[in-house]
Amino acid sequence: MGEAHAPDALDRYLKTQGKFGSANENDLKAKAAAAQEYAAKLASEYYQAEGGSLVAGATAETSDSRLPTPDSFTRSDFLPTSQADMEARGWAQCDFVLVSGDAYVDHPSFANAVISRVLEWAGFKVGILAQPDYTDPQAFKALGTPRLGFLVSAGNLDSNLNAYTAHKLPRSDDPYSPGGKPGKRPVRATIVYCNMLRRAFGKVPIIVGGIEASQRRFSHYDYWDDKVRRSVLLDSNADMLVFGMGETQIVELAHRLNRGEPIREITDVRGTAYVKKDAAFLDTPEFAERFGKPKFTLDHENLLAPKEPRPKGRGPAEGGNLDRVQEHQVVSPGTVPQHRKNYAVAFKTIFDQQDPVRGRPLVQRTGKLHVVQLPPARLQSEEELDRWYDLPYTRLPHPDYKAQGGVPAWLTTQHSIITHRGCMGSCTFCAIWMHQGRTIQSRSADSIVKEAESITGMPSFKGYISDVGGPTANMYGNYCSVQQTLGACKDRDCLLPDPCPALRQHIDTQLDMLKRVRAVPGVKKAFIASGIRHDMLIDDNNTKGLGDSYIENLAAHHTSGHLKVAPEHLSDDVLMRMRKPGLHKYEEFKTRFIEASKRVGKEQYLVAYFVSSHPGCTMDEQIRLAEYFKKNNWSPEQVQDFIPTPMTPATAMFYSGHDPETGDFVYTPTTMREKRRQRALMQFKRPEFHGRVRKALREAGRTDLIGSHKDALVTPGIEQDWEDDNPARPAGIGSGPSTLKKRNNPYRGRKPGGRRRRGK
């Protein structure tokens, strides 16, 4: 196995090791042979488990080096992106072509790099088609027809979120594109790419994945359209959807396709979803025994507003209120229509089955079709995670981007290390715990140290590892015996109101790992920039007294002057809807961190993140928060306006007006006017926001905060704010594509095929 590529692999290993002046050629050859043997052993594990072996067309290409030296890499070290690259490898055809909305960056922080390298490890030939011209079908033929199928991902972010702000204005840059220039990918990229592939290749299998496809696998509220859209599987016409972290699913699918199984007949891979017209197989004893009895959520049609006749020609400029995020303002329980209440019920049904241990299959009908989701993929072991992150990433953007200014997102992650997956936090506005799960899956310290050693070999490395962390850095190594055997608790948060007694915080394990990373030759500092969950560290019972030790290590070794923390809000009511701890816990952590910084002889501060216009946040609550900032002489720069992204509990609250967990009514700011004013109150010191702040205070009956006294938020002055009040102002104030077309953005006015829309 792998003999055809052994000389190339050995040459690469010798070239890489030679950079560091290794002992002698015989030692290097021995190391390379051992590495190849180990990689072959790993690859064979799957084949043996499946009772199969490699066949023609699926030659394994294994790597033997974990010490990349980017200045020595060439195009051949990246996966093919052109026919010339394929010919250089002696390939007549790819097994898979991965179509990505992101630029091709061969780094483990980029999901498409991980999936493609995993498939390469499994023995398949993978080509990368990054950001093809979505208006030209010929652009999708650059790598020819793959032998087994296409893999499609919109990229590391939802393409709508990548393109538009919380106020539905086009973003001025795209950090995942060459030179940071926007317009390289379409909005709803998964749908556009799949339909272009169907036009170009017909019935070739298409598998979609990534955060966009995962979070849109069922009927979902789309903030940018202000409507409930059906599953992305139906709009994209894809054959299969891989949700969550997809390594195990994609490897199994690849081998089954390689054995000749039609993709439409593969209906038993955990962590996948697909569409069936006839769902009779779901009622068979065999299916129920393997996956559990399927659970049906509400049909797509039950989530739609009743159809009402609409006058012809009515558009946003004629009869609609351009200042709305939603066409329906949820202000009291009696104003919530039934279809919106249904949305909260449907979301709760879906949400409850997203655990890999206790989750059951889910089915949602849309017309005559059934969207079927199998239970999430099983949890990955430490050995598996080590394997995926030990693959031969170059850790670089593709050489083609050098002349275009590189890829900005890579600059902030090139020297970073991912230590674990999953998050116990359960923040309702965050997609991570839906995508990666609540159970923490950690890499071994050996694997992490190995990656740190490889980073020191990069010419761009100056001694500083920018981040050693994950979704929440201090959750590394955390363990819950209940989650492993019974799944994450259905009716209890892991951290609220206090950390669960069943949670085991292995702080000593993480401190030992961080110490080993710091000890790697060439590493001056290893920062923690991915943020921490502060309430976990001040619970002295749960931390077994190690919380203060962690905080002191954080202050002494892993903070670059400022530490990111996310209290999010002041109001207990709002924090309850966010599933976040009370502000008093932030205050206690702040005190401990400042004291620890003083003990180690440093002057350091916290960078606090806050969210405006979150469901549950009234104008009165926001004014209270502004008063708190005034009292504490704060002027927060890190303010995020809540964006309802698909398939999160907060988005369900935003659209339905109800908390899907409790069924309680939740007031939600749903007009652009209120969203802008809530944000302005958080940054009331900025002169450009004074007009909005005065209006908000006057309408709330809080004119006592307008004046020159010490408690005032703003001084008296004019309240006119053209952007805030002019309903005819141009561009992007309303909801849906009819407004987005008005913006000066690269997506307007064209269908995927490049033809102009009518009226353009």
Residues of the chain above pLDDT 70, percent: 82
SS3 218: coil
pLDDT of 634 reads 85
Residues of the chain above pLDDT 90, percent: 73
Predicted confidence band at 404 (pLDDT cuts at 50, 70, 90)? very high
Predicted confidence band at 542 (pLDDT cuts at 50, 70, 90)? confident
pLDDT of 41 higher than 70: no
The stretch 338-347 carries a mean pLDDT of 95
Q: Which string of DSSP letters, residue by residue, matches 157-225? A: S-HHHHHB-TTSPBPS--TTSGGG-S-SS-TTHHHHHHHHHHHHHTT--EEEEHHHHHHTSSSEEETTT
Strands 295-296 and 362-366: parallel
pLDDT of 325 reads 55
> Which range, of 58-62, 91-95, 231-235, 401-405, averages the lowest pLDDT?
58-62
Q: Which pTM value belongs to this model?
A: 0.85
- Residue 675 or 739, more confident: 675
- Please check whether residue 358 is in contact with residue 486, taking contact to mean a CB–CB distance below 8 angstroms: yes
> Which range, of 20-24, 31-35, 354-358, 551-555, averages the lowest pLDDT?
20-24
**How far, in Å, CA of 246 to CA of 151, rounded?**
12
> Which range, of 25-39, 146-160, 181-195, 318-332, averages the lowest pLDDT?
25-39
Q: How far is CA 269 from the centre of its chain?
A: 22
pLDDT of 118 higher than 90: yes
Q: Which residues of 360-383 are buried (b: 16+ CB within 10 A; e: fewer)?
A: bbbbbbbeebbbbbbbbbebbeee
pLDDT of 115 reads 98
Measured from the Cβ of residue 500, the count of other Cβ atoms closer than 10 Å reads: 16
Predicted confidence band at 51 (pLDDT cuts at 50, 70, 90)? very low
Measured from the Cβ of residue 282, the count of other Cβ atoms closer than 10 Å reads: 18
Predicted confidence band at 309 (pLDDT cuts at 50, 70, 90)? low
Tokens encoding 529: 């920039």
Predicted confidence band at 217 (pLDDT cuts at 50, 70, 90)? very high
Instruction: Quickly tell me which residue has 């309240």 as its tokens.
Output: 719
Distances (CA, A) of 738 to 312, 320, 588: 14, 11, 48
What does the pLDDT look like over 269-279, one tens digit per residue? 999 999 999 98
Predicted confidence band at 69 (pLDDT cuts at 50, 70, 90)? very low
> Which range, of 67-76, 131-140, 244-253, 700-709, averages the lowest pLDDT?
67-76
The stretch 438-460 carries a mean pLDDT of 96
> Which range, of 230-239, 428-437, 612-621, 720-729, averages the lowest pLDDT?
720-729
The stretch 726-735 carries a mean pLDDT of 34
Measured from the Cβ of residue 303, the count of other Cβ atoms closer than 10 Å reads: 29
Predicted confidence band at 313 (pLDDT cuts at 50, 70, 90)? low
- Please check whether residue 465 is in contact with residue 477, taking contact to mean a CB–CB distance below 8 angstroms: no
Tokens encoding 62: 């294994």
Measured from the Cβ of residue 603, the count of other Cβ atoms closer than 10 Å reads: 8
What does the pLDDT look like over 640-658, one tens digit per residue? 999 999 999 999 999 999 9
State which amino acid sits at residue 24. Answer: N
**Which of these, 308, 350, 355, lies nearest to 327 by C-alpha position?**
308
pLDDT of 274 reads 98
pLDDT of 611 higher than 60: yes
The stretch 605-622 carries a mean pLDDT of 94
**How far, in Å, CA of 672 to CA of 735, rounded?**
10
3-class SS string, 356-403: CCCCCCEEEEECCEEEEECCCCCCCCHHHHHHHHCCCCCCEECHHHHH
Predicted confidence band at 312 (pLDDT cuts at 50, 70, 90)? low
**How far, in Å, CA of 486 to CA of 124, rounded?**
36
pLDDT of 52 higher than 90: no
**Which of these, 439, 448, 417, lies nearest to 245 by C-alpha position?**
439
pLDDT of 326 reads 54
According to DSSP H, which parts of 237-277 are helical? Answer: 247-258
SS3 738: helix
> Which range, of 436-440, 481-485, 506-510, averages the lowest pLDDT?
481-485
**How far, in Å, CA of 415 to CA of 468, rounded?**
9
Measured from the Cβ of residue 608, the count of other Cβ atoms closer than 10 Å reads: 20
| φ/ψ of residue 143, rounded to 5 | -110, 10
The stretch 599-628 carries a mean pLDDT of 94
Domains of the chain: 1-52 (no CATH), 73-275+364-395 (no CATH), 415-592 (3.30.750.210)
Name residues whose C-beta falls within 8 Å of residue 365's C-beta, 6 or more positions apart in sequence: 296, 299, 300, 371
pLDDT of 695 higher than 60: yes
pLDDT of 328 reads 52
The separation between the first and the last C-alpha atoms of the chain, rounded to the nearest angstrom, is 57
Mean pLDDT, the chain, as a whole number? 85
pLDDT of 400 higher than 90: yes
The stretch 455-477 carries a mean pLDDT of 95
**How far, in Å, CA of 717 to CA of 719, rounded?**
6
3-class SS string, 678-701: HHHHHCCCCHHHHHHHHHHHHHCC
Tokens encoding 347: 């979301």
Predicted confidence band at 3 (pLDDT cuts at 50, 70, 90)? very low
According to DSSP H, which parts of 366-525 are helical? Answer: 382-389, 408-413, 432-435, 445-455, 481-486, 507-518
Q: How far is CA 234 from the centre of its chain?
A: 22
List 206's β-bridge partners, or say none: 150
**How far, in Å, CA of 186 to CA of 732, rounded?**
17
Distances (CA, A) of 171 to 71, 93, 464: 33, 38, 30
Distances (CA, A) of 406 to 443, 677, 716: 29, 37, 48
The stretch 307-317 carries a mean pLDDT of 55
